[in-house]
Structure 1
Amino acid sequence: MEFLSLRALALGALLPAALLCVLAGATARFWPDGALVGTFGRMLDSLAPQLFVLSLLLCAALALLGLPRLALGLALLSALGQGALLMDQRGRARPLAEAETQAPFTAIWFNLYEQNATPPERLAEAILQSGVDLVALGEADPIRPVLPLLETVYPYRIGCEGRRCGVLLLSRHPFAPGTQELANISRRERLVRARVEPEGRAPLEVLVEHMAKPWFYGFVEDDRWYLLDRLALIRQTSGPEAPVLVMGDFNAAPWSRPIAMLLREAGLAPPRRPVPTWPAAAGPLGVPIDQVLVGGHARLTALAPWGGDLGSNHRGIRALVIWPEVG
């Protein structure tokens, strides 16, 4: 009797949990914004792959407890939901381009985490050893003490001008006059815009943004509007096919409702295999809430995690970008 009672209790907990994981994973990205439902939807839709995996583990437990047919049915629904998500992501994504003879332009995006306890000298050493052309950092306060050291290699900078460092952009290459912008949106220093001019190459339009969490209604809308507005300005002034590189912490995965809608409006395509970045401790099992995206004639040739051992709660992303020599 005691075993039967424990089995009933376990089934009473596992069955609803499995059902909720399948339903949330399959439908959260369709829940409209606003009010209670939208808030939970925005918290869950980026976690859809993890919810599907959890549902399969729960289904295995249900099968072991004597409900194999029900477990199989739920597992099939979970697999269908995961397949639909992957197909949708694949349909909107852009495959990595093959490397060309020209040397790729290299860039890093990394949310440093403002409470990062790693010595600034170690952070600077990692950045300098990366050898990249462009460094974009979020929550950049921990790097402030070593900015003079970084500027020996990256002499062109936007950000960290006042008492607080938000988004910071460092470049080996000069910025075109009149294209530099540091915008305060939902918080101070949330967006950086610049046109980078590598020697002997067409210019590259760069946008870096740290967005508010997607359920922070009243703030995140401004972040998204600013990005769309600046992209529209770039296309108006530089042409619709101008190479564009967009990086940042979007606080949501590319398949989530708000980011999928944003990318569609922005004319940007995510990579087919985004880099999981948060939490850093989860490694490849994390959620890709940090993005490196391209538009116009720009193409990504490689993406890889970077800086997972540098004390942040995010992993960074190292990207290789190419674009035609003539803009």
Structure 2
Amino acid sequence: MRLILALVRAVLMLGALGAAALAIAGLFGSMVPELDLINHFQILLLPATAVGLVFLAVMLRGPVRGAALVFGLAGFAASASMVLPEALAARRNLPPAPAEGTVRLMTHNLFGMNYDMERVVAAILAEDPDIIVFQEYFGEQATDLHPLLLAKYPFFVRCRGGKRANLGLYSRLSFSQLDEDACPNDAYGDQRTAHILAQFTLDGDKLFSVLTSHMDWPYPVARQREQLGQLTEVVAGIEGPLVVAGDFNSTPWSYTLRRFVAESGLERQTLNLFTFPMRFYYFGAWRDTLPFLPLDQVLTRGVSVHSVETGGQTASDHLPVVVEFSVE
């Protein structure tokens, strides 16, 4: 029994030190891009380092206790420095919406294996957005969803391309599509990413643009960084108020997303908003779970944002995000 307890104690100590080591390594993600991958999971490392620190304080004895406690505390502080500023910033007070002239926008990754489009429509109707942007909007989804939306959202555009290039935009407001070459129409094409850029007019003279896109996963590191760099160049060429919404496959604790926000000059509105994963595949079926990663982002320039929240759950592995804004 003593041997088993000693083994359990050793495993827990290694786990506590390992969590601290990962949290500290993430701090160097700005210099070593591969280490930035760790930062996407800082929300899990924060409680892990906290529990590990308590374990080290209670269970360790002898000359190594002091060094282990310092290392554990450094790991907890490293993770907290990534996670807590985002959580505190989310407590901001947004300006109240004016009596008229606001626009509601919903962004939603439909999930390529989601075939329950009536549930998607129910979530849309519950939020009543003026503009909807979709990611992972494949032909299987469009066949059922498109006719369900047309009556209320007669203005639309679709992108059909490679893995992340399947996008959609539906609106009850008329718009002009810009940068059409960035939106392919070949379901068997090899263009991996795309974007939809639409320009709207409010009250006859207020112009604003909406852009939606879908980034790849953060690994390989160079691929996502290149995609975000290209998107930065696109944003730089857009004049006037702008709303960028979509699945960035990147969390706000990563240096990669922080760099994009800084270089693009946009303001990220989705603070500490957890949208993924809503579903996991295990034991032979897709099962609901609790989201712990904020992958779906809304960023703005030149607009006043009055509310940002998640929408109702659909059969997707992402929650929709709904933002209400007015043009300054």
- Contact 1:175-1:195 within 8 A present in 2 as well: yes
Paired residues in the alignment total 308
Aligned partner of 2:242 in structure 1 is: 244
> Quick one: distance in 2 between partners of 1:299 and 1:269?
11
Aligned partner of 2:126 in structure 1 is: 129
Show structure 1 runs of 4+ deviating over 6 A: 90-94, 162-165
CA positional deviation for 1:286: 0.6
Unmatched 5+ stretches in structure 1: none
> Quick one: distance in 2 between partners of 1:64 and 1:94?
34
Alignment pair present for 1:166 and 2:166: yes
- Contact 1:186-1:223 within 8 A present in 2 as well: no
> Quick one: distance in 2 between partners of 1:198 and 1:322?
10
Alignment pair present for 1:312 and 2:316: yes
Write 1 or 2 for the structure with the bigger share of strand. Answer: 2
Match of 1:139 among 121, 136, 139: 136
> Quick one: distance in 1 between partners of 2:235 and 2:323?
20
Identity of aligned residues (%): 23
Root mean square deviation, CA, Å:
3.2
CA positional deviation for 1:182: 4.2
Q: Give the AA of the match of 1:307.
A: G
- Contact 1:128-1:150 within 8 A present in 2 as well: no
- Contact 2:159-2:194 within 8 A present in 1 as well: no
Aligned partner of 2:38 in structure 1 is: 44
Alignment pair present for 1:298 and 2:292: no
> Quick one: distance in 2 between partners of 1:181 and 1:173?
22
Q: Give the AA of the match of 1:134.
A: I
TM-score when normalising by structure 2 = 0.81
> Quick one: distance in 2 between partners of 1:111 and 1:321?
21
> Quick one: distance in 2 between partners of 1:135 and 1:75?
45
> Quick one: distance in 1 between partners of 2:128 and 2:78?
41
Match of 1:192 among 173, 196, 221: 196
TM-score when normalising by structure 1 = 0.81
Q: In the superposition, relative to structure 1, how do residues 171 and 199 fare at CA in structure 2: closer, same or farther (>3 Å)?
A: farther
- Contact 1:254-1:270 within 8 A present in 2 as well: no
CA positional deviation for 1:150: 0.5
CA positional deviation for 1:210: 0.3
CA positional deviation for 1:288: 0.4
Alignment pair present for 1:14 and 2:19: no
Match of 2:237 among 233, 240, 244: 233
> Quick one: distance in 2 between partners of 1:306 and 1:94?
19
Aligned partner of 2:209 in structure 1 is: 205
Unmatched 5+ stretches in structure 2: 279-287
CA positional deviation for 1:72: 5.8
CA positional deviation for 1:45: 1.0
Q: Summarize deviations over 1:193-218 as a string: whole Å, max 9, x none.
A: 11122344612211111001122345
- Contact 1:90-1:272 within 8 A present in 2 as well: no
